[in-house]
Amino acid sequence: MAQSPAPDRMNETQRKAVGAGVDISRLPAHVAIIMDGNGRWAKSKGMMRLVGHRQGYRTLKDVLLSASKLGVSYLTVYAFSAENWRRPEDEVGGLMKLIEEAARHELKGLIENDVRVRVIGRLDEVPSTLQDALNDLVTKTKQNKGIVFTLAINYGGRREIVDAVRALVSKGAAPEDITEESISAQMYFADAPDPDVILRTAGEMRWSNFLIWQGAYAELCVTDVSWPEFGEDALIQCVLDYQRRDRKFGGLNERE
Ligand code: IPE
Ligand code: IPE
Ligand code: MG
């Protein structure tokens, strides 16, 4: 079993987490986040929705750093869903631009922080300049050994399953070759462990088509805090909440 680092070897984030009651030796390896509430946050302040998305980008920078310092190995975030194209054109365009700007602007810092970036979703449908910026980010951080940071862009869980089955069929799979394992192996991000926790901000109790295959046994953590107001303390609370859960995977615990 993993050992907690000695207090003098912990960083500030870990010390804060331990102070709040987190057991550092039992951290979730993979945290996935549905970053929701940017629009409502902006509206509540009388600002345009895009201002909320911009603030959400700042939150993401902080939360990535906090997750990495805490010792989470994989952080996956839902940045744009396959259904978000239904929003008004200016919001969609603004989001695409913001993601591209962020990808270009953050490259250096991500390399310095040893973050490995990956992207899941149907990238061929996003603007080509955004594709270039994302490909650059993925290629130039490939060798990094720190936290694996996955951006879900134009991502839909059902589509991912469809794409996986199509890939198997195109390889000539027979019906008996279609198994949970063979489908899992075709997922966009097959070598990552399934998310231990799916966190959603801004109170909505739904999945919105995020990691529906991989999240089959994830613990759900919903907070009322909106994404622009989320931060290290709220992340620690979520980890604490996760650690209090009784994960059974369909079985029973020793004492049952
Ligand atoms: C989440 O915030 C960000 C994206 C979907 C890109 P929303 O834009 O959904 O914010 P609300 O839910 O309208 O408040
Ligand atoms: C989910 O949030 C998608 C992202 C966070 C990118 P939405 O705001 O799009 O989800 P719904 O529409 O409330 O289900
Ligand atoms: Mg929303």
* Pocket mutation for ligand 1, best pick of 33, 36, 43, 54 (most atoms within 8 Å of C-beta): 36
In the residue annotation, 124 being an active-site residue is answered as no
Assess whether pLDDT exceeds 90 at residue 248: no
**Does 255 or 239 have the greater pLDDT score?**
239
In the residue annotation, 84 being an active-site residue is answered as yes
Q: pTM, whole model, 2 decimals?
A: 0.96
Q: Give the pLDDT of residue 110.
A: 98
Among 8, 11, 36, 241, the one annotated catalytic? 36
Taking 3-state DSSP, the helix, strand and coil percentages for the chain, each rounded to the nearest 5, stand at 50, 15, 35
Q: Report the sign of the C-alpha dihedral through residues 80, 81, 85, 91, in that order.
A: negative
Q: Which of 62, 61, 39 is nearest to 52 (CA)?
A: 39
Assess whether pLDDT exceeds 70 at residue 1: no
All structural domains of the chain, each given as residue ranges with its CATH number in brackets, are: 28-241 (3.40.1180.10)
Across the range 216-228, mean pLDDT stands at 97
Across the range 222-247, mean pLDDT stands at 96
Contacts of 89 (CB under 8 A, 6+ apart): none
* Pocket mutation for ligand 2, best pick of 153, 208, 211, 230 (most atoms within 8 Å of C-beta): 208
Tokens at 63, concatenated: 């939360």
Average pLDDT value for the chain? 96
Across the range 152-161, mean pLDDT stands at 98
Model pLDDT for residues 52-111, shown as the tens digit of each residue: 999 999 999 999 999 999 999 999 999 999 999 999 999 999 999 999 999 999 999 999
Q: Which of 154, 149, 192 is nearest to 61 (CA)?
A: 149
Residues with CB under 6 A from ligand 2: 34-36, 78-81, 84, 204, 206, 208
Assess whether pLDDT exceeds 60 at residue 26: yes
Q: Give the pLDDT of residue 256.
A: 81
Q: Place 2 in a pLDDT band, splitting at 50, 70 and 90.
A: low
Across the range 186-210, mean pLDDT stands at 96
Q: Give the pLDDT of residue 198.
A: 98
Across the range 118-134, mean pLDDT stands at 98
Assess whether pLDDT exceeds 70 at residue 144: yes
Helix (H, G, I), strand (E, B) or coil at 135: helix
